[in-house]
Amino acid sequence: MEDENDLDLIVIGWGKGGKTLAGTLARAGQRVAIVEASKEMYGGTCINIGCVPTKILIHDAENHAGHGFDPEYFDTAVERRDKLTAMMRAKNFSMLDTLDSVMTITGRASFIGPRRIRVHAGDETLELGAKRIIINTGAIPASSDLEGASIGGRIHDSTTLQHAPLPKSLVVIGGGPVGLEFASMFGHFGSKVTVLDRGPRALKNEDEDVAAEVLSALNDVDVEIKVRASVQRISQNAHTARVYYEQDGAPQDIEADAVLIALGRTPATHELNLVAAGIETTASGAIKVDDHLCTTAEGVYALGDVNGGPQFTYVSLDDNRIVGDAILGSGKRSTADRVAVPHTTFTTPPLARVGLSEQDARTQGLSIKVAVKKVAEIAAMPRPKIVGDARGIIKFVVDAQNDLILGAALMHVDSQEVINLVALAMRQGVTSTTLRDSIFTHPSSTEALNEVLGSFAR
């Protein structure tokens, strides 16, 4: 039953996709409410605890490389992190709060029926309904049922470790992107880092030559990676933590000042009471959506990490485009339109990837040609040498029949930028020959493509 609180749109969560869509529809004249559980999370994960703050710390860690363990320097970096995230958080809040047709609410939302929610804000409770609801609650660090793995004391997740005292020694449980980014960061800050990876080799989804370059860079800051390491339990006291694990069947243990549990991220849905709205989830706990991001409940959409898609801010932004087109446009846009979505793991130097690896392509039985060069050997790429870091590798996998790029792995200074050009070329059907013969600025990292794409193995 409609009342004065019924709206055109309710957005639950302040992530990239939801906040952007809220602003777009409000400026189009719709009545919008956006609900965020914490005032410390206006703007979402990316600007508060994810992409932006961790890259601030990574940048400052890189600038401190070689200067040893320095807690005061780390504290200064954390202070800079906090100032920038506070500024961005305030800006994100004001961008919506200043719109007359947007109601901003700080509280915890849960469904009480189809397209109706209840918000608990301190001692107050508010019920709202809307024609459409966007769920944009993101994801949280995956928990572990290991004995002693509860977050607290010397045991951290990727959020709490950003404000912990700089540990002289750190054990990272999990060798995925988050684990390796933090391992690289704290290694540069001067911590002795050990990564426990249960897989047969680190970066198992990358070709061995690419993985070897990343591992070499990690070794440069004394990061040790132990593979086939299955963690059994964790203990801690006032002074240290200890991780017990098995490696090749043999019991082992390691002591450290802090432990980071980096086992991925899981969709944040546990407080939403989805069943009340008829919203189904997948086996992994993500909200089930179709190609247009519609949930199983009419008029309810799920955007960003909560829907089980790639957990990247820029994918959440594209989710906003899909739902925006459904509401204000033709409704033709869908997730099926996404081609060649790149991603970067911000080790130092960063590893950026798009499309297929060589091992993927060969497994699929594709006819390919491969171009690969180590950065130090690329004559037409002086920029890494100019900035003092010529480590890394560039590798392209190209269709041998039509010369189209199937995938690339770039591990070098500026790779997080260059990968976007490669992804655009793939989306637009630009051949490797055209990219090879393109004109790029000098000195830049992009111009490496001129040389690398002329070096296919025969």
- Cα separation of the two ends of the chain: 70
Neighbouring C-alpha atoms within 13 Å toward the C-beta of 371:
26
Q: Which amino acid is at 263?
A: L
Identify the three-state secondary structure at position 433.
Answer: helix
Decide: residue 296, CB within 10 A, 0-12 exposed, 13-18 middle, 19+ buried.
middle
Beta bridge partners of 135: 12, 302
pTM: 0.94
Q: Residue 23 has which token pair? A: 């602003």
Q: What is the rounded CA–CA span in Å between residue 423 and residue 428?
A: 9
pLDDT digits (tens, 9 = 90+) for 71-86: 999 999 999 999 999 9
Q: What is the rounded CA–CA span in Å between residue 184 and residue 217?
A: 8
Q: What does the pLDDT read at residue 456?
A: 85
Q: What does the pLDDT read at residue 76?
A: 97
Mean pLDDT of 378-401: 96
Closest CA to 278 of 305, 293, 297, 251: 297
Q: pLDDT band at residue 2, thresholds of 50, 70 and 90?
A: very low
Q: Is the pLDDT of residue 1 over 50?
A: no
Q: What is the rounded CA–CA span in Å between residue 5 and residue 2?
A: 8
Percent of the chain exceeding pLDDT 70 equals 98
pLDDT digits (tens, 9 = 90+) for 194-245: 999 999 999 999 999 999 999 999 999 999 999 999 999 999 999 999 999 9
Q: What is the rounded CA–CA span in Å between residue 83 and residue 76?
A: 11
* Dihedral in degrees, nearest 10, Cα atoms 232, 180, 266, 137: 150
Decide: residue 231, CB within 10 A, 0-12 exposed, 13-18 middle, 19+ buried.
buried
Closest CA to 18 of 32, 38, 4, 28: 32
Q: What does the pLDDT read at residue 457?
A: 63
| Residues labelled catalytic | 442
Q: Residue 322 has which token pair? A: 């899909």
Q: pLDDT band at residue 3, thresholds of 50, 70 and 90?
A: low
pLDDT digits (tens, 9 = 90+) for 235-280: 999 999 999 999 999 999 999 999 999 999 999 999 999 999 999 9
Q: Is the pLDDT of residue 120 over 90?
A: yes
Q: Is the pLDDT of residue 282 over 90?
A: yes
Q: With contact defined as beta carbons under 8 Å apart, do 398 and 457 qualify? A: no
Q: What is the rounded CA–CA span in Å between residue 183 and residue 373?
A: 26
Q: Is the pLDDT of residue 56 over 70?
A: yes
Closest CA to 277 of 267, 269, 265: 269
Q: Residue 95 has which token pair? A: 């961008």
pLDDT digits (tens, 9 = 90+) for 16-26: 999 999 999 99
Decide: residue 303, CB within 10 A, 0-12 exposed, 13-18 middle, 19+ buried.
buried
Q: With contact defined as beta carbons under 8 Å apart, do 245 and 261 qualify? A: no
Q: pLDDT band at residue 141, thresholds of 50, 70 and 90?
A: very high
Q: Is the pLDDT of residue 4 over 90?
A: no
| Contact partners, residue 388, CB within 8 Å, separation at least 6 | none
Q: pLDDT band at residue 65, thresholds of 50, 70 and 90?
A: confident
Q: What is the rounded CA–CA span in Å between residue 113 and residue 300?
A: 12
Average pLDDT, the chain: 95
Beta bridge partners of 204: none
DSSP H or E run through 322:
helix 313-328
Q: What is the rounded CA–CA span in Å between residue 134 and residue 281?
A: 15
Q: What does the pLDDT read at residue 273?
A: 97
Q: What is the rounded CA–CA span in Å between residue 13 and residue 35?
A: 6
Decide: residue 447, CB within 10 A, 0-12 exposed, 13-18 middle, 19+ buried.
buried
Which residue segments constitute the domains of the chain, with CATH numbers given? 7-140+266-337 (3.50.50.60), 155-263 (3.50.50.60), 343-452 (3.30.390.30)
Q: Is the pLDDT of residue 458 over 50?
A: no
CA-to-CA dists, residue 286 to 23, 266, 340, 430, angstroms: 25, 8, 23, 35
Q: Is the pLDDT of residue 5 over 90?
A: no
